[in-house]
């Protein structure tokens, strides 16, 4: 699972997809493709975007949801917490810093 997560984050196009889903969750494949093309100048095929989404979904960062005839992609940032918990030291108030 951790390997899937780091692999998913190791690609700039996939990080851009996450940026766009962070702005608005619940996008169709068409909207994701349009944002990559029109806002980022990324000329990649719909099939390639689908493959990127599959990698993000395997890592748990994207979830797909069917609603009637439509399919939407939602962002799930929960797996990123595992990265934070693995290495980052929780913020503890330091009395030295808080005194002016």
Partner 1 sequence: MKIHLTSVFVDDQAKALRFYTEILGFVKKHDVPVGEQDRWLTVVSPEEPGGTELLLEPARHPAARTYRDALVEDGIPLAQFAVDDVDAEYERLSALGVRFTQRPVEMGPVTTAVLDDTCGNLIQLASQPR
Positions that interact with partner 1 (CB under 8 A): 24, 27-31, 34-35, 38-39, 46, 69-72
Residue number with CB closer to partner 1 (53 or 59): 53
For tokens 């196009």, name the residue. Answer: 13
Dihedral angle sign, alpha carbons of residues 9, 10, 14, 16:
positive
**Three-class SS of residue 66?**
strand
Distance in Å, CB of 23 to partner 1, minimum: 9
Residue closer to partner 1 by CB (options 5, 33) is 33
CB of 4: closest distance to partner 1 in angstroms? 24
- Residues found in the chain: 100
């Amino acid at each position: 699972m951790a390997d899937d997560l780091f692999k998913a984050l190791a690609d700039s196009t996939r990080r851009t997809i996450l940026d766009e889903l962070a702005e608005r969750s619940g996008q169709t494949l068409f909207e994701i493709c349009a944002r990559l093309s029109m806002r980022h100048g990324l000329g990649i095929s719909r099939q390639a975007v689908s493959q990127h989404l599959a990698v993000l979904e395997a890592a748990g960062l994207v979830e797909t949801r069917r609603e009637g005839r439509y399919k939407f992609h939602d962002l799930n940032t929960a797996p990123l917490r595992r990265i934070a918990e693995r290495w980052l030291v929780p913020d503890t108030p330091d009395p030295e810093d808080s005194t002016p």
